[in-house]
Amino acid sequence: MKKAADILLSGGLVAFPTETVYGLGADAYNSGALVKIFEAKNRPFFDPLIIHIAAIETLEEVADLSVLDEKTKYRLFLLAEKLWPGPLSIILPKSDKIPGVATAGLSTAAIRFPSHETAQNLISLSSGAVAAPSANPFGSLSPTRAEHVMDSLGEKADMILDGGPARIGVESTVIDITGKEIRILRHGGTPKETIESCIGKVFCEDSCEVDTKKSLVSPGQLKSHYAPKTPLLVFNMEEILSLPCKKDTALLFFDNSSRDSWLKERSAHNIHTAVLSACGNVSEAASRLFETLHELDKSGFSGIYAQLAPQKGLGQAINDRLLRACESFKKLP
Ligand code: TXA
Ligand code: MG
């Protein structure tokens, strides 16, 4: 850990586990190091990074809280108190200490206090603020294991810390609390319902209707994202039975009962099927999503047909990722 922290302090890149996905970290106060993140990921400079902290006191170092009105301060207090550390990134006015390259020139920064112990140790042992996007090439599947980072970024990181599989498996929820309405900019590890029980009504773009031209509030809302190399199409349960299935296509079901009813109807036993959660638990399904897509991607199928999850809890994050991964970004006819 000391060695990893020293790499960060001397301007290098360290990939590290968090409870959501693996991140590719650089010292958030060092613009030269930040540039390396964009280069390693082939990430456009207009896509801002998340700043990770490991102590609530650091919030005042990375964000300018003095400009917040009382209502926003109270929302922030509630969220930080109830949902941090955890899979939630909060958009706040950035402090002058954070270089503009970290936030793509925006006056705001996304701040997150992760709960993973290794992440917290690394952040605390280094400068206290670590900028980290997911540790994958821009647009591709996010890494939920150290091996995924090794395979996709390899030598581009000066060190990879292996903390085993990520517990949550989808990225943090990104929320903007500074406006009149509270908005979810990206569905993720903290479900909308959890946030609403904490600070009231929250608005969000419907994943299926995100318009990249209109919506540049969160540049990460670009439609084509989180994509496996294998073409992927999404469907709901009604569409499933009419799917033209070729032998070299894989089917990704949400739960066993969906798979069983499909098998019963189709008696297509020569088609590869995978299931995200046997009993249909959305959290388990989320934790296995990227992992399963990585596996299917490696198996050489010509296509993946994926079933949408129920649109509740972490199901919203699953569907968001599936729809963005969907090759043509349209449901099957
Ligand atoms: O779980 C996570 O959030 C992981 C781990 C490593 O913490 N990180 C992650 O980072 O997913 P990344 O860079 O892949 O996604 C960051 C998202 C993007 O959608 C970006 O547009 C949005 O956060 N974002 C960052 N700063 C923003 C800002 N100032 N305003 C609006 N959106 C912002
Ligand atoms: Mg990412």
Label each residue of the chain as H, E or C: CHHHHHHHHCCCCEEECCCCCCEEEEECCCHHHHHHHHHHHCCCCCCCCEEEECCHHHHHHHECHHHCCHHHHHHHHHHHHHHCCCCEEEEEEECCCCCHHHHCCCCEEEEECCCCHHHHHHHHHCCCEEECCECCCCCECCCCCHHHHHHHCHHHCCEECCCCCCCCCCCCEEEECCCCCCEEEECCCCCHHHHHHHHCCCEECCHHHCCCCCCCCCHHHCCCCCECCCCEEEECHHHHCCCCCCCCEEEEECCHHHHHHHHHHHCCCCCEEEECCCCCCHHHHHHHHHHHHHHHHHCCCCEEEEECCCCCCCHHHHHHHHHHHCCCCCCCC
What is the percentage of the chain residues whose pLDDT exceeds 70?
91
185's tokens? 């900019």
- The ligand 1 atom nearest the CA atom of 22: 6
* Stretch(es) of the chain classified as CATH 3.90.870.10: 2-209
Nearest CA to ligand 1 atom 19: 220
Query: pLDDT tens for residues 24-77?
Result: 999 999 999 999 999 999 999 999 999 999 999 999 999 999 999 999 999 999
Ligand nearest to C-alpha 225: 2
Residue 185 Cβ contacting ligand 1 at under 6 Å: yes
- The ligand 1 atom nearest the CA atom of 170: 1
Please give the Cα distance from 212 to 329 (Å, whole number): 12
pLDDT at position 212, please?
A: 28
CA distances from 21 to 53, 166, 307, 324 (A): 16, 6, 22, 17
- The ligand 1 atom nearest the CA atom of 219: 21
Residue 140 Cβ contacting ligand 1 at under 6 Å: no
β-bridge mates for residue 275, sequence order? 253
Mean pLDDT of the residues in the chain = 91
Superfamily for 2-209? Answer: DHBP synthase (3.90.870.10)
Residue 292 Cβ contacting ligand 1 at under 6 Å: no
Q: What is the mean pLDDT of residues 94-103?
A: 98
β-bridge mates for residue 176, sequence order? 91, 183
Q: 39 CA distance to ligand 2 centroid (A)?
A: 14
Query: pLDDT tens for residues 210-254?
Result: 332 332 233 334 466 888 999 998 888 778 777 777 788 999 999
Strands laid side by side in the 173-176 sheet: 159-160, 14-16, 23-27, 129-131, 50-53, 108-112, 88-93, 173-176, 183-186, 203-204
Q: 242 CA distance to ligand 2 centroid (A)?
A: 33
- The ligand 1 atom nearest the CA atom of 186: 19
- The ligand 1 atom nearest the CA atom of 23: 6
Q: What is the mean pLDDT of residues 149-178?
A: 96
Residue 92 Cβ contacting ligand 1 at under 6 Å: no
Contacts of 313 by beta carbon, 8 Å cutoff, 6+ apart: 191, 193, 282, 283
Question: Would you say domain 232-327 falls under CATH 3.40.50.11030?
Answer: yes
Q: 329 CA distance to ligand 1 centroid (A)?
A: 21
Query: pLDDT tens for residues 255-312?
Result: 999 999 888 887 766 789 999 999 999 999 999 999 999 999 999 999 999 999 998 9
Please give the Cα distance from 176 to 218 (Å, whole number): 10
Nearest CA to ligand 1 atom 29: 109
Please give the Cα distance from 22 to 18 (Å, whole number): 6
Per-residue pLDDT for 135 more than 70? Answer: yes
* Stretch(es) of the chain classified as CATH 3.40.50.11030: 232-327
Helices 2-9 and 117-125 cross at an angle (nearest 10°) of 50
